[in-house]
Amino acid sequence: MLNVALIGLGYWGRNLLRVLSGNPRLKLAAVVDLRPDLKEKLALSHPGVAAHDDVAAVMTDPAIDAVVIATPVASHYMLARAALEAGKHVMVEKPMCASVAEATDLMARARLYGLNLMVDHTFLFHPAVRKLGELVHSGALGQISYFDSQRVNLGLFQPDVNVIWDLAPHDLSIINFLFGCQPIDVEASGYRHFDRGSADIAYLTLHYPGNLIAHLNLSWMSPVKVRRIAIGGSAQMAVWDDLNRDEPVKIYDSGITFHPQQDRERLLPSYRIGSVHSPRVAGPEPLVEVVEHFRRVILGEEACLTDGAFGLSIVRTLEQAQAQLDANFSRLGTLGPQEGTAAMRAVDQ
Amino acid sequence: MLNVALIGLGYWGRNLLRVLSGNPRLKLAAVVDLRPDLKEKLALSHPGVAAHDDVAAVMTDPAIDAVVIATPVASHYMLARAALEAGKHVMVEKPMCASVAEATDLMARARLYGLNLMVDHTFLFHPAVRKLGELVHSGALGQISYFDSQRVNLGLFQPDVNVIWDLAPHDLSIINFLFGCQPIDVEASGYRHFDRGSADIAYLTLHYPGNLIAHLNLSWMSPVKVRRIAIGGSAQMAVWDDLNRDEPVKIYDSGITFHPQQDRERLLPSYRIGSVHSPRVAGPEPLVEVVEHFRRVILGEEACLTDGAFGLSIVRTLEQAQAQLDANFSRLGTLGPQEGTAAMRAVDQ
Amino acid sequence: MLNVALIGLGYWGRNLLRVLSGNPRLKLAAVVDLRPDLKEKLALSHPGVAAHDDVAAVMTDPAIDAVVIATPVASHYMLARAALEAGKHVMVEKPMCASVAEATDLMARARLYGLNLMVDHTFLFHPAVRKLGELVHSGALGQISYFDSQRVNLGLFQPDVNVIWDLAPHDLSIINFLFGCQPIDVEASGYRHFDRGSADIAYLTLHYPGNLIAHLNLSWMSPVKVRRIAIGGSAQMAVWDDLNRDEPVKIYDSGITFHPQQDRERLLPSYRIGSVHSPRVAGPEPLVEVVEHFRRVILGEEACLTDGAFGLSIVRTLEQAQAQLDANFSRLGTLGPQEGTAAMRAVDQ
Amino acid sequence: MLNVALIGLGYWGRNLLRVLSGNPRLKLAAVVDLRPDLKEKLALSHPGVAAHDDVAAVMTDPAIDAVVIATPVASHYMLARAALEAGKHVMVEKPMCASVAEATDLMARARLYGLNLMVDHTFLFHPAVRKLGELVHSGALGQISYFDSQRVNLGLFQPDVNVIWDLAPHDLSIINFLFGCQPIDVEASGYRHFDRGSADIAYLTLHYPGNLIAHLNLSWMSPVKVRRIAIGGSAQMAVWDDLNRDEPVKIYDSGITFHPQQDRERLLPSYRIGSVHSPRVAGPEPLVEVVEHFRRVILGEEACLTDGAFGLSIVRTLEQAQAQLDANFSRLGTLGPQEGTAAMRAVDQ
């Protein structure tokens, strides 16, 4: 049975702990984290799992077959590289790492060593995304013209990344999954409202081949949580509202057709407003599927859906967006709020 | 009593007809429109109102004191100019005209002739916008950091303008009213999905003095209608959902405060999630208020809230956004869909 | 062309005025109402329509073919009877009249004189009710087991009827239309919160043949308006939310099936939770259809959907419910709030 | 430290297991359940907790101070009685037991033996119910005139109780908590749609002293889940929607006032439609509070909020409702669907 080690017990790491230890077809052998009471707590809750405060313990343990990395983004590269060098398969949290250079290096190493490198883009295993995939891939929506995402809520400021690196990977991975293509142009704008902080609001506009435009509205500053993706097609349109418990996915049998006029100068639009269909969207917990997929990928039973190349494609777009954001900040001569005018400034005294 | 002529009986013109003829303190003397059965219909429904198919009839009529122009944007300038030259006060539909040059010229003429020039930015008379104004101007929201608007629905393609000139004036006028300032930077991106069409989706990002960022998501291509403005302040946040009949305006007593840490390197955010308050929002029909305001402005009883300078400020931003959109289209080497690949192309045969 | 007179210009009467005068295939010849300025107002807005303050004027006018009665319920019987005796076809607002005795008498007279007697149960011409009719009559919902209606909002206290006579006719007419049957048992309970008032909250439970149970929750005392009907069938369930602009009718492909167990003592339920479908519900204004139906019924072009027998069936159920309510009030020894303890008593001093 | 035993590991029992073992101020010493693999599973997940398949093991164990009973209702009485006779404090799931006779007997025994008898009416520890309590008890709502609850969803048919005994205890306990009074009259009607089944839809109308009317709409047959309580007061009205994540409690500053007229014959109502306020509703998990309350009650630190008398008051109303339901079924000559006409009958072949 596959022996797996988990590095990092933050918010998502705790979910991985639960799911890894709940999969009867693999063995969670060790957990690495720095918090002082780890050993005691784990001994109580997961008696058979070793607890370490040093990654070396798992890297040098020949019994460990695979490592799952759930640490801050800045450390992804070094940890994944160390694990690959130690001959272990790797699953790393999204985003895969902090730059295209890092991602390319990791991919090359995995290939060289003949190891699997997978990125945990959990949303690709979400039943609603699977349903959207069916709709897009079957042609039910027709030719897709836009992808519009609003992903905003209050807070969860990340210490090491800005709102783009935090939230955009979700949408970018879904776009890649649905349309299988890379943006030909990336625009990004945003704002940071706090001194010494990173961008907390960002708007991304992405142009894709085939006349597809994507737009992401990302924010840590909204009092209301919104998780809503709209996809417009020539035949139908679909909206996924992740907070709508009863009807998360709606398919609108609505559209616009343009009719040429006699004189060929102008087209007359006609609107079709039809019924709305909300398919049953249900399935196992996505992370359970992710972990099982990782296991099967290692055993050669399945091709990896979110391999290094997939993860790299996301990081490339993030890097492009970051460059645009930086250019915009420079052009505007302001890296956020000015001293003395900070909109919502820190309580400094 | 003031004698008013109305030019144009399109969608909004018919509303103006109803409201102008319903105001007992002014007299709607004449209507100009080209549709053939105008005379008969008007004779039946508004027996005392003269019907013309030529604007000259009202321009040359010395009994007419003021002209209301509700025609396509392209004709605003010529008609407003003619009316001013004929010595008549003018109220023109939004946007005021098609360029800054036109707007400047109209303003100069109005000043020169001592006439009133007003733009019908109806939303400034909407009770929900008035309520937002109270919240912003009283300081109840604290320092404002963002304005985020989603204004999308299916269709109503305009023949003579793109989605920016059609929908952005609403948000721009509200921003001007709330914050009293002009953008220091305008970004615009968009897409046109149909041959020979104009942009039907557009995203505007506007930077304002005082660390305010505004974002407009405008579309004629959404199967679901959304009319939602979120305003984030340091003290509270407000959301206006124009389609929520029962609770259109919600005030969230939520926010984020940053606390400096010992080492001064990093700030620790704390989130405050408080109650939600939905004030009663009610009042007379906004257009009724607009028409009455125009009357009082002419009589010198009120200072004009949406005068030529106000209208010009909107047109300036629209012109900047259009320039950015054009630059973007050029850069991407595509003015919309390519021949043969049009996403939702016209049914040509 | 049919000459019609309208009696009563209250809330609904004004709608009838608009619709009757807008139907080009009949002529609204006269209006009767007691308000003093009727003649002047009508002369302005409807120049060709005679204005009277006495019903005798239309009853004795041989040019009038049909009379539409939109007065308080208490006067329905006398006016409808007078019109029938004068040889005129009659359409009367719902409920048809105040008792079964009155209804039976009107039906007999209409039959005797060979005149049409129609009740304006407008909802039967509503596109959503038509859609529900399709679903029930086609068998798409399977065998129906329950009809559950919530019809509550704040106020609109009627001076002459209680909440049952005001609101229940809507649901009762829809039940009759959908299922074509009369209740075999009527339970009613309610409350009157104000001295000298009538019941402002009422609950009706109706048992129908074929194992159908219907429940109506009626109130003038709810701060939130709700207009929601749920219909449960063995195959599917449908919900009509009249305040949901975008998706008023939803069809749930959900249900419960019971499987017998080996020992035949107990059944094991299995739940099916499927997709939700919201058909496009659109159509002409119901009242326009009502008026046109009345015209065609008189001309013999259509059989009357809501004739005297239909109206009588509603009145019979109302009478039964009233009797139950009265019995309940008597049993509880209280006809509403006691002196000195009135929940929301009148401001008496 | 208090030693507690838990009897029953069904749906709610598993929640109690989690919460009892998570409370550091008491010790979960033993669990009793009949499922065969209990010992193995519990040894893994809760190493220190003894597992038994016979209640005698805990009843005869002098180290056990208190017993928590989470078994089907029919067994509550015998188990609670045995525990009391064995000198143990008892917390029993709601409803307390199956009859007033049983409840009275348990109360008498608890008093006689000087032991605590508590019923787990969890909702009384729910932050939303606490908020409603504040609103009612502070007088903020004014005098209360109605309590209207809709508690419907699909399924969860209980084998041993009907929909009244399953769902009504929630509302009845909330009413008791809010208003501190017992109904002076209970009406109940309902339906059972399946052969050999119990009532799956029920409507309860309860009259309380002080002119308060309560209505419960209970169903296992609704495709849409609704958990909504509306409380109408003379000053304000409140609605709790348990499925509204963001704004579960809304307070409507709306109402009706009646003004007497000169002639004293009729009152003129005036409607006040004001703002809506949604207070922040948050707090610890209710069941955690229940368990901690039970601990403190045993230690004499707190008076029991839901003692035997409270539990009895709920059972009394349930018994009255059942009697009314039975009488109704008898009167209608049908105990549910007839052979051959079952609305949604079992798939028998």
- Of D47, D224, D246, which has the smallest distance from its Cβ to A224's Cβ? D246
Output the CA torsion sign for A237, A238, A241, A247.
positive
DSSP D307: B
C-alpha to C-alpha distance for C273 and C120, rounded to whole angstroms: 39
Q: What is the DSSP annotation of B169-216? A: HHHHHHHHHHH----SEEEEEEE--STT---SEEEEEEEETTTEEEEE
pLDDT at B268 over 80: no
Q: Does C127 touch chain D (CB under 8 A)?
A: no
Look up residue A119 and give its DSSP letter: E
- Among the listed ranges A12-26, A146-160, B62-76, D308-322, which one has the minimum average pLDDT value? A146-160
All residues at 6 or more sequence positions from A15 whose CB lies less than 8 Å from its CB, including other chains: A287
- Count CB pairs under 8 A between chains A and D: 7
Question: Do D277 and B276 lie within an 8 Å CB cutoff?
Answer: yes
Lowest-pLDDT range, A325-339, C54-68, C76-90, C211-225?
A325-339
Determine the residue among B131, B135, B237, B247 to mutate to test chain D binding: the one whose Cβ has the most chain D Cβ atoms within 10 Å. B247
Classify A17 as helix, strand or coil.
Answer: helix
Q: Work out the minimum CA distance from A13 to partner chain D, whole angstroms.
A: 20
Q: Is the peptide bond before D95 cis (omega within 30 degrees of 0)?
A: yes
Residues of chain B found within 8 Å of residue C225, distances taken between Cβ atoms: 246
Listed in sequence order, the residues at least 6 apart from C304 whose beta carbon sits closer than 8 Å to its beta carbon are C116, C118, C293, C297, C310
Structure tokens at C126: 């509503």
Pair of tokens at residue C320: 């039964």
Distance from CA of A254 to the nearest CA of D (A): 25
For chain D, list the contacting chains (3+ Cβ pairs, <8 Å).
Answer: A, B, C
CB proximity C257 to D under 8 Å: yes
Q: CB-based contact (8 Å) between C344 and chain D? A: yes
D261 has a chain C CB within 8 A of its CB = no
Predicted pLDDT of residue D48: 85
A275 vs C253, C274, C277: nearest CB: C277
Domains and CATH numbers, chain B: 2-120+287-306 (3.40.50.720), 124-284+314-348 (3.30.360.10)
Contact criterion met (CB < 8 Å) for D146 and C258: no
pLDDT (average), residues D144-149: 96
CB contact under 8 A, C211 and D159: no
pLDDT of res. B39 = 86
Q: Could you give the count of Cα atoms lying within 13 Å of A138 in the half-sphere of its Cβ?
A: 9
Q: Mapping DSSP to helix (H, G, I), strand (E, B) and coil, where does residue D15 land?
A: helix
Smallest CA–CA distance from D48 into chain A, residue:
A44
Write out chain A residues lying below 8 Å of D225, CB-based. Answer: 246
Residue with tokens 């002209």: B67
Express each pLDDT in B213-241 by its tens digit.
999 999 999 989 999 999 999 899 999 99
B335 CB within 8 Å of a chain A CB: no
Q: Is A264 on the interface with D (CB under 8 A)?
A: no
- Asked if B179 and B193 touch (Cβ cutoff 8 Å), the reply is no
Give A-chain residues touching D224 at CB under 8 angstroms.
246
C279 to chain A, any CB pair closer than 8 A? The answer is: yes
Answer whether D276 sits within 8 Å of B274, measured CB to CB.
Answer: no
List of residues 6+ apart from D345 with CB closer than 8 A: C234, C258, D194, D195, D337
**Tens of pLDDT along C216-233?**
999 999 989 999 999 999
Q: How confident is the model at residue B211 (pLDDT cuts 50, 70, 90)?
A: confident
**pLDDT score, position A38:** 86
Of B273, B274, B280, the CB nearest to D274: B280
pLDDT recorded at residue B273: 84
Name the neighbours of A, counting chains with at least 3 Cβ pairs within 8 A.
B, C, D
Residues of chain A neighbouring D247 (CB-CB closer than 8 A): none
Average per-residue pLDDT for chain C? 90
pLDDT tens digit string along D43-100?
878 888 999 999 999 999 999 999 999 999 999 999 999 999 999 999 999 999 999 9
**Token reading at D157:** 């048919």
- In this prediction, residue A207 carries a pLDDT of 94
- Measured between CB atoms, does C273 come within 8 Å of chain A? yes
A246 → closest Cβ in D47, D224, D246: D224
What pLDDT sits at residue B343?
Answer: 32
What pLDDT is recorded for position B157? Answer: 66
Spatial separation of the C-alpha atoms in residues B145 and A21, rounded to whole Å: 44
C158 vs D202: which has the higher pLDDT: D202
Q: B159 touching A, CB under 8 A?
A: yes
pLDDT at A210 over 90: no
- Average pLDDT, stretch C37-61? 90
The conformation of residue A338, written as its DSSP 8-state character, comes to: P
User: CB distance from A140 to chain C under 8 Å?
Assistant: no
Spatial CB neighbours of C149, under 8 Å, sequence gap ≥ 6: C171, C214, C215, C216, C217, C228, C229, C230
CB burial of C258-277 (b: ≥16 within 10 Å; e: otherwise) equals bebeeeeeebebeebeebbb
Whether B277 and D275 lie within 8 Å, measured CB to CB: yes
Report CA-CA distances (Å) from B288 to A316, B19, B118, B243, D2: 54, 6, 15, 21, 73
The whole-angstrom separation of Cα C191 and Cα C329 is 8
The token pair that represents D306 in the structure block: 């839901």
Asked whether the predicted pLDDT for residue D172 surpasses 50, the reply is: yes
Average pLDDT of C66-85? Answer: 97
pTM for the model: 0.91
Query: Nearest residue on chain B to C225, judged by CA atoms?
Result: B246
Tell whether the model's pLDDT for residue C133 goes beyond 80. yes
pLDDT in tens, A242-280: 999 999 999 999 877 767 666 555 666 777 889 999 999
Burial, B232: exposed, middle or buried (Cβ in 10 Å; 0-12, 13-18, 19+)? buried
Percent of chain D clearing pLDDT 90 (strictly above) = 74
Looking at the complex, report in whole angstroms how far the Cα of residue B99 sits from the nearest Cα belonging to chain A. 23
Cα C286 from Cα C289, distance rounded (Å):
5
Do residue B269 and residue A155 have CB atoms under 8 angstroms apart?
A: yes
Residue B340, pLDDT above cutoff 70 = no
C177 pLDDT higher than 90: yes
Question: ipTM score of the complex?
Answer: 0.89
For residue C24, is the peptide bond before it cis, meaning its omega torsion is within 30 degrees of 0?
A: no
Searching chain A, which residue's CA lies closest to the CA of residue C251? A277
Structure tokens at A201: 């609001």
Check B243 against C245: CB less than 8 A apart: yes
| Chain C contact set for A276 (CB, 8 A) | 246-247, 277-278
Q: How confident is the model at residue C257 (pLDDT cuts 50, 70, 90)?
A: confident
Percent of chain C with pLDDT over 90: 74
Q: Which residues of D touch C348 (CB under 8 A)?
A: 260
What letters, b where the CB count within 10 A reaches 16 and e where it falls short, cover D140-153? ebbbbbbbbbbbbb
| Mean pLDDT for chain B overall | 90
Around Cβ B338, how many Cβ atoms within 10 Å?
Answer: 12
CB distance from B272 to chain D under 8 Å?
no
Tokens (6 digits) for A347: 């309580």
Q: Is the pLDDT of residue B53 over 70?
A: yes
Q: Look at residue C115 and tell me whether its pLDDT is greater than 60.
A: yes
Q: What is the pLDDT of residue D272?
A: 80
Query: What is residue D36's predicted lDDT score, i.e. its pLDDT?
Result: 85
The whole-number average pLDDT for the span C112-126 is: 98
Query: pLDDT per residue over D191-234, tens digit each?
Result: 887 766 689 999 999 999 888 999 999 999 998 999 999 999 98
In chain D, the largest separation of any two C-alpha atoms, in whole Å, equals 81
Q: Which two tokens stand for residue A211?
A: 């006349």
| Chain C residues with beta carbon closer than 8 angstroms to that of D262 | none
Beta carbons within 8 Å of D109's beta carbon, 6+ residues apart: D81, D84, D85, D115
The answer, for D144 touching chain C at a CB cutoff of 8 Å, is: yes
- Evaluate if residue A30 carries a pLDDT over 50: yes
Q: What is the pLDDT of residue B267?
A: 62
**Quick check: C8 contacting D, CB < 8 Å?**
no
Tokens of B34: 């080209």
Kindly tell me if the per-residue pLDDT of B133 is higher than 60.
Answer: yes
D261 in reach of chain B (CB within 8 A): no
Q: What pLDDT sits at residue A132?
A: 98
**Over 70: is that where the pLDDT of D9 sits?**
yes
**How far B155 CA sits from the closest chain A CA (Å)?**
7
- pLDDT above 90 (res D324): yes
Nearest to B8 by CA among B84, B85, B72: B72
Amino acid in position C254: S
Q: What is the pLDDT of residue D111?
A: 97
Q: Is the dihedral of CA D239, D244, D249, D253 positive or negative?
A: negative
Enter the tokens of residue B76. Answer: 């605003």
Position with higher pLDDT, B160 vs B38: B38
Selecting from B273, B274, B278 the residue whose C-beta is nearest the C-beta of D276 gives B278
Contacts of A21 in chain D (CB under 8 A): none
Q: Which residue of A has its CA nearest to D45?
A: A45
How many whole angstroms separate alpha carbon A181 and alpha carbon B133?
Answer: 44
Inspect the interface and report whether the beta carbons of C278 and A277 lie closer than 8 Å: yes
Contact, D129 vs D174, CB < 8 A?
Answer: yes
Structure confidence at residue A337 (pLDDT): 43
To the nearest whole Å, the CA of B17 is away from the closest chain C CA by 15
Whether chain B has a CB inside 8 Å of the CB on D275: the answer is yes
Shortest CA distance to A218 belongs to which of A291, A165, A143, A296? Answer: A165
Q: Is the pLDDT of residue B188 over 90?
A: yes
Flag if A159 and B266 touch (Cβ within 8 Å): yes
B276 CB neighbours in chain D (<8 A) are 246-247, 277-278
Dihedral sign (CA A298, A300, A306, A312): positive
- Count of CB atoms situated within 10 Å of the CB of A137: 13
- In chain D, residues 47-106 whose CB comes closer than 8 Å to chain A: 47
What CA–CA distance (Å, rounded) separates D298 from D293?
9
Query: Is A303 an interface residue toward D (CB < 8 Å)?
Result: no
Q: Spell out which residues of chain D touch residue C346, defining contact as CB-CB under 8 Å.
A: 257-260, 267
Question: Could you write out the DSSP letters of every residue in A52-118?
Answer: ES-THHHHT-TT--EEEE-S-GGGHHHHHHHHHHTT-EEEEESS--S-HHHHHHHHHHHHHHT--EE
Residues of A in contact with D243 (CB under 8 A): 245
- Report d(CA A333, CA C217) in Å as an integer: 63
Instruction: Detail the DSSP E strand segments found in chain B.
Output: 2-7, 26-32, 50-52, 66-69, 89-93, 117-120, 144-154, 185-191, 201-208, 212-219, 221-233, 237-241, 249-252, 255-260, 267-272, 276-278
pLDDT at residue A71 above 80? Answer: yes
